[in-house]
A and B are shown apart, each in its own frame.
Chain A
Amino acid sequence: MAETLKFHFTPVDAPRGDEANVHAQPSTEVTDTIAALRQHLPEAITDVVTYAGEQTVFVARAQLLEVCRLLKDSLGYTYLSDLAGVDRFTEETCRFEIFYNLVNITAGKRIRLKVRVGEDDAAVPSITGLFKAADWNERECFDMLGIRFEDHPDLRRMYMPEDFEYHPQRKEFPLLGIPGSLPLPPQTPEGELTMDPFAAAHGRRPVACTQEPVREEEP
């Protein structure tokens, strides 16, 4: 058995990132669109980054709506595929980043726009007026990261209840949640509300669903 085994190892870690990506798609190569954007709105585009054959266009916040309108009305990017935010917690400036994934179905092109905003003024204009599909995505982004979308018709939270006060996908939000942030049903029929679903993780005695909840002693 052992002599038939063959071992293949590649001990050298080849340099990565600059070689051609095997999964790159022609649809994400949007040089023409970027040229058209540069021609019509010269100040709007601050940077273009390419990785894995995908061109990411960084857009100034003030011109975001104009860029989106141009893409939709003149360049055929009518379909909004995705919209979400990124928390760049470790960066010095511009903590949040919102990306827009727009698709031109007839030409077979996909473009990604990115807008960066700081923590103090975490707000971008809403594109729901142009892309109706952005509605829920913007709500989700607001819920998860606390980025406000100006002129959004209905900026409620998407997943968490309105009574929740935090934005869970920010990097500083603990993975186990914050005890007491949401009341949960009592664990016994006559019990009290459960304010900490992960009591054991926070160093307290957990209550089994078959037990009476422990009463906190009055100080």
Chain B
Amino acid sequence: MATLAEYQKQQDVFSFWPRHNEAVRERLESKDAWLETVRGTQRTRDEDVLEHEMTLNIGPQHPATHGVLRCVVKLDGERIEKCVLDIGYLHRGIEKLAESKTYQEFMPYTDRMDYLAPYANNVAWCMAVEKLANIEVPERAQWIRMIMCELARISSHLLWLGVGLMDAGAVSVFLWTFQGREDLYTIFDEISGARFTVSHSRIGGLATDLTPQAVAMIENFVSRYEDIVQGWRKLLNRNRIWIERNRNVGTVTADEAIALGLTGPNLRGSGVPYDVRRFEPYLKYNDVDFVIPLRDEGDCLARYHVRMEEMLESLKIIRQCLYRLPEGPIRTDDAKKAYPSKDEVYYSMEGMIHDFMYTETGVTPPRGASAYHAIESPKGELGFYLESDGTGNPWRARINAPSFTNLQGLESMMEGHPVADIVVLIGSIDPVMGEADK
């Protein structure tokens, strides 16, 4: 059989990156299905007399791939024998970009990583910088950050639910969950002035305090959404089509999930109790009462249950945060470590100088310092590893993106399933390409 490059030359077909496609094809031929090898369930296939074998390229531009994920699969009839995921179609090199930005300047880039939960990314970045430069954050800011992180989690899970069900054929849920996201956008708009890319958190605190209006809106959301989420669970938990599409699809045991490096709800759906909110309690997660949902089955249905229960737990956390929200400053009062307040900037010369200094240089952690801080973002463990050279720009900013590690697991999970399960599997893993491709 002629190689792809030879074939293209014969047919005079132009291809942009011929060596790349060739390498993907070669990998497809040479790899083995890892999960089947581990379990010893490889199928020995007879000679392909009926010519069932086919190589199919799904994506990168395909509505079911949730972005620009490209799956190259080798099929035996309808069954996926091997799968190679090709990512990088949204690669912007933000780790490289971070090296030429100050710590505060990099914040808007984090909005564009996991664009379904931008606030969680802002907080993750701020906390990593705060750890590196040893900056204390006022109590009130920590509680507000927690509220917003949990709202971001709900926002992300709402999209997962709507899109996941639309992939499985139920379009109406998509419209209902987007109503919920619209409510959340309105809240984010009230708090930060932006609906989507909020960039509201600041190093050392927050940009602005919650207005009474915003608190009322969050309270209203929390009081309404408990029933709404329970209503969706009533609709779906015993829905025959939904269960049949999800049960025993993409099953991974606890050991396999750890080996594949899955994080977040995908790991907890396999019964591994790893949640950064408990593992390394940041913000005030030690002071609130919540349960980390766990399921043992490890299939798509388990992951669905974990995420639905997580939404309810998030509502519970927000309710406690609102109840316990203390009064006080929202940003640390040290102009070398955080932006001075606008009052100081407008009415004092020192305030203005510090504002300029902070925009120009920002925080300067000591030379040779390095720190890793992770939060539990909606998708899993989102960590930033920062290394400083003593200037205002990070020497190295490493992003440990949960979608990246989850996609790696997805490659193995797909093997052995029918083509129709691809969309359900991608939906249940819930990747965001902005984050996976960096």
Please pick, from B88, B370, B383, B387, the residue contacting A81 in the complex, using a CB distance under 8 A: B383
Q: Provide the bound-state CA to CA distance between A10 and B135, in Å.
A: 14
Interface members, chain B 400-431 (any A CB < 8 Å) = 400, 404-405, 407-409
- The interface residues of chain B lying within 8 Å CB-to-CB of A103 are 274, 279
A162 near B95 with CB under 8 A, answer no
Assuming the contacts A51-B371, A78-B258, asked whether A175 and B385 have C-beta atoms less than 8 A apart, the reply is: no
CA of A144 to CA of B344 in the docked complex: distance in angstroms?
A: 43
A60 on interface, CB distance cutoff 8 Å: no
Q: Indicate whether A84 reaches chain B with its CB closer than 8 angstroms.
A: yes
A133/B261 in contact, CB under 8 A: yes
Interface size on B, as a range, is 35 or more
In the complex, what's the smallest C-beta–C-beta distance from A20 to chain B, in angstroms? 8
Decide yes or no: A163 and B17 within 8 Å by CB, A79-B258, A136-B404 being known contacts.
yes
In the bound complex, CA of A112 to CA of B343 (Å): 43
Contact B387 A86 (CB under 8 A): yes
Question: Would B336 and A13 count as touching, CB distance under 8 A?
Answer: yes
Taking a contact as CB atoms closer than 8 A, the residue among A5, A133, A160 that contacts B260 in the complex is A133
A22 x B134 contact (CB < 8 A): yes
Q: Is residue A62 within 8 Å, beta carbon to beta carbon, of the partner chain?
A: no
Cβ of A8 under 8 Å from chain B: yes
- Cβ-defined contact, B279 with A7, below 8 A: no
Partner of B366, one of A10, A16, A86, A108: A16
**How does the 8 Å CB contact mask read for B85-117 relative to A, with 1 for contact and 0 for none?**
001100101011101100000000000000000
Distance A2 CA – B91 CA, assembled complex (angstroms): 50
Number of interface residues of A (CB under 8 A): 62
If A17-B366, A136-B404, A183-B16 touch, does A159 touch B88 (CB 8 Å cutoff)?
yes
Q: Given A105-B272, A163-B19, does the pair A158, B87 have CB atoms closer than 8 Å?
A: yes
- Contact partners of B396 in chain A: CB under 8 A: 86-87
Point out the residues of chain B lying under 8 angstroms from A132, CB to CB.
34, 259-261
B147 beta carbon closer than 8 Å to chain A: no
B437 and A159: CB pair below 8 A? Answer: yes
The answer to whether the Cβ of A33 comes within 8 Å of any Cβ in the partner chain is no
> A101 on the interface (CB 8 Å rule)?
yes
Which residues of A from 87 to 119 have beta carbons under 8 Å from B?
A: 87, 90, 99, 101, 103, 105, 108, 110, 112
A156 touches B259 (CB 8 A): no
Cα A23 to Cα B20 with chains together (Å): 43
Contact of B258 with A105 in the complex, beta carbons under 8 Å: yes
Q: B215-249: which have CB < 8 Å to A?
A: none
B350 at the binding interface (Cβ < 8 Å)? yes
**Which residues of A139-175 are within 8 A (CB) of B?**
140, 144, 153-154, 156-163, 168-169, 171, 173, 175
Residue from B87, B258, B347 within 8 A of A159 (CB atoms): B87
Chain B residues in 8 Å Cβ range of A5: 343-344, 347
A27 to B387, CA, bound (A): 20
CB neighbours of B319 from chain A (8 A) = none
Q: Which of B99, B127, B348, B371 has the most CB of A within 10 A?
A: B371
Q: Given A23-B373, A79-B258 in contact, is the A10-B335 Cβ separation under 8 Å?
A: yes
Q: Which residue of B lies closest to A21 (CB)?
A: B134
Closest chain-A Cβ to B344's Cβ sits at a distance in Å of 6
Is A207's CB within 8 Å of the partner chain B?
no
Interface residue B282 (Cβ < 8 Å from any Cβ of A): yes
Docked-complex contact B136 and A80, CB < 8 angstroms: no
B56 interface hit (Cβ, 8 Å): no
State in angstroms the CA–CA spacing of A79 and B409 once bound together.
13
In the bound complex, how far is the Cα of B274 from the Cα of A8, in angstroms? 42
In the complex where A8-B333, A23-B127, A27-B280 touch, is A175 in contact with B274 (Cβ < 8 A)? no
Cβ-closest chain A residue relative to B334: A10
In the complex where A16-B134, A27-B280 touch, is A161 in contact with B347 (Cβ < 8 A)?
Answer: no
From 1 to 60 in chain B, residues with beta carbon under 8 angstroms from any chain A beta carbon are 16-20, 22-24, 27, 30-31, 34
**Minimum CB–CB distance for B125 against chain A, Å:** 13
Q: Is B64 interfacial (CB-CB < 8 Å)?
A: no
Is B398 a contact of A82 with CB atoms below 8 Å? yes
Instruction: Map CB proximity to B onto A8-42 as digits: 1 under 8 Å, 0 otherwise.
Output: 11100100110101111101000000000000000
Q: What 1/0 mask marks residues of chain B from 370 to 382 whose CB sits below 8 Å from any chain A CB?
A: 1111100000010
Check: B351 CB closer than 8 A to any chain A CB: yes
22 A-B residue contacts at CB 8 Å? A13-B336, A16-B366, A21-B371, A22-B134, A23-B127, A23-B130, A54-B372, A56-B370, A82-B372, A82-B400, A84-B385, A86-B387, A86-B395, A90-B389, A103-B274, A103-B279, A105-B274, A132-B34, A154-B30, A159-B87, A159-B91, A169-B95
